[in-house]
Amino acid sequence: MVFLLFWCFTASSAERVVTAASDPWPPFTDLDHPNQGLSLEVVRAALGTEGYEVTMRFVPWARAEEGARQGVYDIVPNAWMTAERERIFFFSEPYVENRIVFIRRKGEPFKYDGLESLKGFVVGVIRGYGYEESFLQASGFVREEASDFLTNIRKLLAGRIDMTLEDEMVARRLLADGDGEYAEKIEFVAEPLVVKNLYVVCGLSNPRHREIIEAFNRGLRSIRADGTYDKIMFSYGLP
């Protein structure tokens, strides 16, 4: 009887743990931040109101996405919506916006004016990221993959690509974390490619997908109402 009660308690406790996975993408997922980044603070606060504990695994993006699809991890806390992802993930309500901008070498005249303005250029992208389908399908320019943003910046400064793109907040944070050599040599293009919502996602193959995401949605509404959400945003310099 004691063993049975212990097993039931352990199983119940395990069901209240949610495993998140993502690559480092500061300030949203941040290895060096004591709270592991804005996304984790929002997710932990929201799910905490529903009695859940969240653990975090930092892995390459493609592994995080595939792991969540298979149910190895419960959630990816910082995903954009794409048609492909809608087929394999259950999406939360959005909780923040990302402004995806082009980055060029300083002094170069490029201005973004629709996909046609990219004609003839080589654009550095990150493998597995959920860019706009129109951007991925457009012809007339080359999309060259790399594993991460700073690799693309190095390729940009070496002249191997003409520009790259990233969420503006993420790019500024990653550049600021360096020694300053990159930031002095690049600049941001004013017109964004797109402004995208950020979501928490759970694989449809995960039997808990609806439970976890609906709990997050309820918790998100709670922390918006009690001011917790605004405090988190303010701590990261967001209105």
The answer on 88 and 8 residing in a single domain is yes
The answer on 107 and 67 residing in a single domain is no
The answer on 87 and 116 residing in a single domain is no
Identify the residue whose tokens are 């690509």.
161
Residue 29, number of CB atoms within 10 A of its CB? 26
Residue range(s) defining the domain that contains residue 53: 2-96+197-235
Predicted pLDDT at 11: 40
The answer on 204 and 186 residing in a single domain is no
Residues of the chain under the 50 pLDDT cut: 2-11
The predicted-structure confidence for 35-59, as pLDDT tens digits, reads as follows 999 999 999 999 999 999 999 999 9
The predicted-structure confidence for 132-176, as pLDDT tens digits, reads as follows 889 999 999 999 999 889 999 999 999 999 999 999 988 988 887
The answer on 102 and 191 residing in a single domain is yes
Q: What is the CATH number of the domain that holds 42?
A: 3.40.190.10
Looking at the chain, which runs of residues are DSSP E strands? 17-22, 53-58, 76-79, 89-91, 96-105, 122-126, 142-146, 163-167, 186-188, 194-203
The answer on 59 and 103 residing in a single domain is no
User: Is there a contact between 170 and 25 (Cβ–Cβ < 8 Å)?
Assistant: yes
pTM: 0.77
State the total domains in the chain: 2
The answer on 201 and 126 residing in a single domain is no
